[in-house]
Amino acid sequence: MKPEELEGAVEASLRRLRQAAGEALPEVAVLLGSGWGGLASRVDGAVPVDYAELPAFPAIGVGGHAGRVLIGRIEGTPVLVLSGRQHAYEHGDAGAMKGAVRTLAAAGVHTLVQTNAAGSLHTSLPPGALMLVADHLNLVQRSPLVGEAGNRRFVDMAEAYDPGLRHRALAVAQRLGRPLREGIYAWQLGPQFETPAEIRMLQRLGADAVGMSTVPETILARHTGLKVLALSLITNLGCGLAAEALSHEQTLAVAAQAGEAAVELLAAILAALRE
């Protein structure tokens, strides 16, 4: 989409969301990744809007993602829940979620909570565990901001994952007795999984988990001034660290088992964002 087209699409998307909400739009948005779909059933008074009705939003292809926004409340906190991301591995475009993130910013959203499924780089962070993203490695070296003009494109990424939000998330996990460890998320383009040599490389580079999403949206969010919190649901050990072969079916199966506890914690974190 050309910049002028994107602007028009963002405005039209915002109008549709405002019409659906019928009141002020929430200031917190949650982007659901694989395994986190259960959060959608926790939205009270949910008003659904399909991505298809929002011209700035992408068409969704991967199994397990629905492609719609729910406007409502989770444990009292007003939220926009986005089910479905378009990934860079679908076409090579890291800016697939640009229109969606711009729409959130235009709507007055100040916090983007991202969720994903990821592979672990340590046997001490096993399948079913949760990791709070403290920072990321963009080894893909692609940016959704390529082609942007102006000085704002040179975004400071020092605190890409907001320290204040992380502190609050860790406090909630501790209060609930739910283990939550901070770590570094390495973005890989995919869609193939890593080789054992790549997993060893990522370990040496200081990564704790690896996945195929989140980083482009974090860059987009920082560009528009949104704070970001990101949670990874570990669905497998990285290639070569365990005996079994990796597959998307396995990602979804582990996510289905562990997803409920993950969603429980996320709902409690969202409740705490209102305090």
Residues that bind ligand HPA (CB under 6 A): 117-119, 188, 193-194, 210-212, 235-236, 238, 246, 251
What stretch of H or E contains 210? Answer: strand 209-211
If the CB atoms of residues 125 and 220 are measured against ligand HPA, the closer one turns out to be 125
If the CB atoms of residues 16 and 142 are measured against ligand HPA, the closer one turns out to be 142
What stretch of H or E contains 108? Answer: none
143 φ, ψ (degrees, to nearest 5): -135, 140
Cα torsion 60, 65, 71, 72 to 10°: value is: 180
Give residue 226's region: left, alpha or beta (phi > 0; psi -120 to 50).
beta
If the CB atoms of residues 29 and 246 are measured against ligand HPA, the closer one turns out to be 246
Which of the following is catalytic: 7, 90, 148, 264? Answer: 90
Q: How far apart are CA 60 and CA 34, in angstroms?
A: 13
Q: How far apart are CA 246 and CA 243, in angstroms?
A: 9
User: Is 83 labeled as catalytic in the residue annotation?
Assistant: no
Shortest separation between residue 214's beta carbon and ligand HPA, angstroms: 10
Residue nearest to ligand HPA (CB): 119
β 68-74/44-50 pair status: antiparallel
Shortest separation between residue 236's beta carbon and ligand HPA, angstroms: 5
If the CB atoms of residues 149 and 245 are measured against ligand HPA, the closer one turns out to be 245
User: Is 90 labeled as catalytic in the residue annotation?
Assistant: yes
Which of the following is catalytic: 12, 89, 242, 261? Answer: 89
User: Is 213 labeled as catalytic in the residue annotation?
Assistant: yes
User: Is 223 labeled as catalytic in the residue annotation?
Assistant: no
Q: How far apart are CA 93 and CA 89, in angstroms?
A: 8
Which of the following is catalytic: 9, 13, 29, 34? Answer: 34
Which of the following is catalytic: 236, 255, 262, 267? Answer: 236
| Number of helices and strands in the chain (H, E) | 6, 9
User: Is 120 labeled as catalytic in the residue annotation?
Assistant: no
Is 43 within 8 Å of 265 (Cβ atoms)?
Answer: no
Shortest separation between residue 117's beta carbon and ligand HPA, angstroms: 4
Which of the following is catalytic: 100, 131, 212, 221? Answer: 212
User: Is 212 labeled as catalytic in the residue annotation?
Assistant: yes
Shortest separation between residue 14's beta carbon and ligand HPA, angstroms: 32
Q: How far apart are CA 100 and CA 220, in angstroms?
A: 10
Q: How far apart are CA 79 and CA 189, in angstroms?
A: 29
Q: How far apart are CA 70 and CA 20, in angstroms?
A: 10
Q: How far apart are CA 87 and CA 191, in angstroms?
A: 9
If the CB atoms of residues 138 and 224 are measured against ligand HPA, the closer one turns out to be 138
Shortest separation between residue 176's beta carbon and ligand HPA, angstroms: 24
If the CB atoms of residues 103 and 251 are measured against ligand HPA, the closer one turns out to be 251
User: Is 110 labeled as catalytic in the residue annotation?
Assistant: no
Distance of CA 39 to the CA centre of its chain: 13
Shortest separation between residue 203's beta carbon and ligand HPA, angstroms: 13
User: Is 232 labeled as catalytic in the residue annotation?
Assistant: no
* Residues involved in catalysis: 34, 65, 87, 89-90, 117, 212-213, 236, 248
